[in-house]
Structure 1
Amino acid sequence: MEFKPFSEQHITTAANLLVHQNKNILRRFPLLPERIAEMDATREFLTALLQKPDSHGMVLEQNGKLIAYMLGSYNENPFFGKHCWVPLGGIALPRNNIQQVFRHLYAATGVQWMRDGVLNHYLVCPDLHAWQQAAFSLSFGREQAYAVNSLQKPLEQPDLPAGIQIRLVVPQDANQLFDIGHWIAAHLNKEPVWEPVPQQHLDAILPEYAKLANDDTSTTMVAVEGEKIVGYVVLYTVDVGLEHLLGVPSAGEFAAAAIDPDYRKRGVGRALFTRLINEARQQKYKTLFTDWRTTNLVAASYWPSFGFETFAYRLLRRVNPRYQPFVEK
Structure 2
Amino acid sequence: MNIIDFQKQHIGQATELAFMNYREEQNKVSSLPSVISIPDLTEFAENGLGVAAFEGDRMLGYLCCYEPWDNVFNTGAKGAYSPIHAHGAAAKNRTLIYKRMYQTAAEKWVRSGAASHSIGLYAHDTQAVAAFFSYGFGLRLMDAVRPMENAGAPSMSGIVCKELSRREIPLVRPLRRGLACHLGQSPCFMVSSEEAFQSWLVRAETRDTRLFGAFIGEICIAFFEVADRGENFITEMEGMKNICGAYCLPEYRGKGVIQALLDHMISVLKSEGHARLGVDFETFNPTAAGFWPKYFEAYTNGLVRRVDECALETGI
Tell me how far apart the structure 2 counterparts of residues 133 and 239 of structure 1 sit (CA, whole Å): 26
Match of 2:303 in 1: 315
Change in 2 beyond 3 A, CA 1:21/1:171: closer
Hey, what's the Cα distance between the residues in 2 that align with 1:211 and 1:157? 31
Aligned to 1:270: 259
Question: CA deviation digits over 1:171-202, x for unaligned, max 9?
Answer: 33233334432222211212222222244541
Q: Secondary structure at the match of 2:190?
A: coil
* Alignment partners' CA distance in 1, 2:80 and 2:237: 25
State the SS of the aligned residue for 1:159.
Answer: coil
Letter in 1 for 2:30: P
Q: 2:70 pairs with 66, 72, 76, which one?
A: 76
Give 1:64-213 correspondences, 5 Å limit: 64-73=57-66, 74-77=68-71, 79=73, 81-127=77-123, 128-151=125-148, 153-162=149-158, 164-199=159-194, 201-211=196-206
Aligned length, in residue pairs: 311
* Residue 156 (structure 1) shift: 2.6
Where does structure 1 lack aligned partners over 5 or more consecutive residues?
none
Instruction: Indicate whether 1:23 and 2:23 are aligned.
Output: yes
Match of 1:252 in 2: 241
Deviation, 1:234, is 1.5
User: Could you tell me how far apart the structure 2 residues matched to 1:130 and 1:195 are?
Assistant: 30
Separation of aligned partners in 1, 2:242 and 2:33: 14
The answer to whether the 8 A contact 1:145-1:291 is kept is yes
Distance 2:25 2:214 in 1: 38
Residues of 2 paired with 1:161 and 1:78: CA distance?
44
Structure 1 residues 285-318: Cα deviation after superposition (integer angstroms, max 9, x where no partner)? 1111101111112211211222x11111100000
Q: Once the 2 structures are TM-superposed, how far is the Cα of residue 125 of structure 1 from its aligned partner?
A: 0.4
Q: Which moved more, 1:122-131 or 1:254-263?
A: 254-263
Per the alignment, residue 232 of structure 1 pairs with 223
1:58 equivalent among 40, 48, 51: 51
Residues 169 and 211 in structure 2, CA contact (< 8 A), matched pair in contact too? no
Matched residue of 2:90: which SS?
A: coil
3-state DSSP of counterpart to 2:3: strand
CA distance in 2 between counterparts of 1:82 and 1:198 reads 20
What's the Cα RMSD here? 2.4
The letter for the 1-side match of 2:135 is: L
Q: Give the 5 Å matches for 1:284-323.
A: 284-306=273-295, 308-323=296-311
Partners of 1:137 and 1:15 lie apart in 2 by 26
Q: 1:237 to 1:204 in 2, by over 3 A?
A: same
Q: Work out whether residues 238 and 252 of structure 1, in 8 Å CA contact, stay in contact via their aligned partners in 2.
A: yes
Kept after mapping to 2: 8 A contact 1:59/1:70: yes
- State the Cα distance separating 1:49 from its structure 2 match: 4.9
Partners of 1:110 and 1:265 in 2: CA distance:
44
Shift of 1:326: 4.9
User: Would the alpha carbon gap of residues 275 and 245 (structure 1) be closer, same or farther in structure 2, given more than 3 Å must change?
Assistant: closer
Does the alignment pair 1:218 with 2:209? Answer: yes
Q: Do the aligned partners of 1:82 and 1:118 also contact (CA within 8 Å) in 2?
A: yes
Question: Aligned pair in 2 of structure 1 residues 96, 200: CA closer, same or farther (>3 Å)?
Answer: farther
- Contact preservation (8 Å) 1:177, 1:209: no
Paired letter, 1:144: L
Gaps of 5+ in 2: none
Which amino acid is the alignment partner of residue 278 of structure 1? Answer: S
